[in-house]
Amino acid sequence: MARRTILKPDLECAPCIQKWVYERAGILATEEERFQLVKRISEILAREFHPETNVGSLSNRITDSIRDTLSRSADYYGGIKLKSNQLARKLLPSARKYIEKGRTPRERFKKACRLASASNVAPMSVPGEAFKFQEVIHILKGKNPFPAVRDDVFEAARKATRILYITDNAGEIGFDSLLISRLKEMGSKVTLVVKEEPFFEDATMKEVSFFGLDRLVDKISTVNGFFVPGEVSPSLMDLFKKSDLLIAKGTGNFEALKGKAKGKPTIYMLKIKCKPIALSTGIDMGNFVVRLEI
């Protein structure tokens, strides 16, 4: 079982953040706007990137500073997100059947975790097309190795009564709904956290409505960027304090929460997309993991 340690940034995190934000925010910008975008990102990195930086918090400060460019980029992502949602929804009936073949509640829960993890496929570069969820399809067909499920995530979920579920991308959130259904069957109250519009390819209230999650979860809250404890709204911070288990999807939420969850058990689900996180998790790049930290 993973112990709680602070995730310190690697030197390669700075150029990675710059590339990640610049490419996504500048997708529809003019040449002059892209020059200004690079300058703004570079200024914040030069001032605030240091060995103790929380990468999620730093990313939030950068995206907050470029809201004008961010808003224009939303037009690019709208079609990708809708198509990703549609492709995920087509797979959900087969995914439910795959989960239901589990012989025990524990086995069904682990199957749902594997699908939720394997749906975390947004690239580090700008997505050029909708997410096709090939890894999920391969799992459903019995072709792919299963994502690694580390530690007793089922027992952690079984003991929890109030769960804060922090989502990542559009389309992907459809597979999250299958895991949330398991949590609800176990008697947990679930608060869902999605991004405020606009935020690249990430899930927002539009995805919540698309997949009917507003009828499944107990509460829904939005966050202006990545969830960093102490840097969210008072109402969301109150929900965080009252929760007894966190479930966090994706690279950004791992970077924002790792070692910052204030003693709360946390289940991370993500694809390992960079060397620093590979070293932190002990999972090779390109693989998926479901991991419990206490």
Which pLDDT value is given to residue 4?
A: 53
- Beta-strand pair 219-223/162-166: unpaired
Which pLDDT value is given to residue 145?
A: 78
CA distance to 24, 58, 74, 84, 199, per residue, from 131 (Å):
16, 27, 17, 5, 16
Chunked mean pLDDT (size 10), the chain, 294 residues: 67 94 94 94 96 94 93 93 98 98 96 96 95 96 84 94 98 98 97 96 98 98 96 96 97 91 92 92 92 92
Which pLDDT value is given to residue 2?
A: 52
Which pLDDT value is given to residue 143?
A: 86
* Domain parsing of the chain, residue ranges: 77-293
Which pLDDT value is given to residue 34?
A: 94
Which pLDDT value is given to residue 144?
A: 73
Which pLDDT value is given to residue 150?
A: 80
- Euclidean distance between CA atoms 52 and 45, whole angstroms: 13
pTM for this entry: 0.95
**Where is 124: in which H helix or E strand?**
none
Which pLDDT value is given to residue 15?
A: 95
What are 197-241's pLDDT values in tens digits? 999 999 999 999 999 999 999 999 999 999 999 999 999 999 999
What are 250-267's pLDDT values in tens digits? 999 999 998 888 789 999
Architecture of domain 77-293: 3-Layer(aba) Sandwich (3.40)
Give the closest residue to 286 by CA, choosing from 171, 127, 121. Answer: 121
Contact 66, 21 (CB under 8 A): yes
Q: Which two tokens stand for residue 80?
A: 């990708």
Give the closest residue to 112 by CA, choosing from 147, 82, 87, 164. Answer: 147
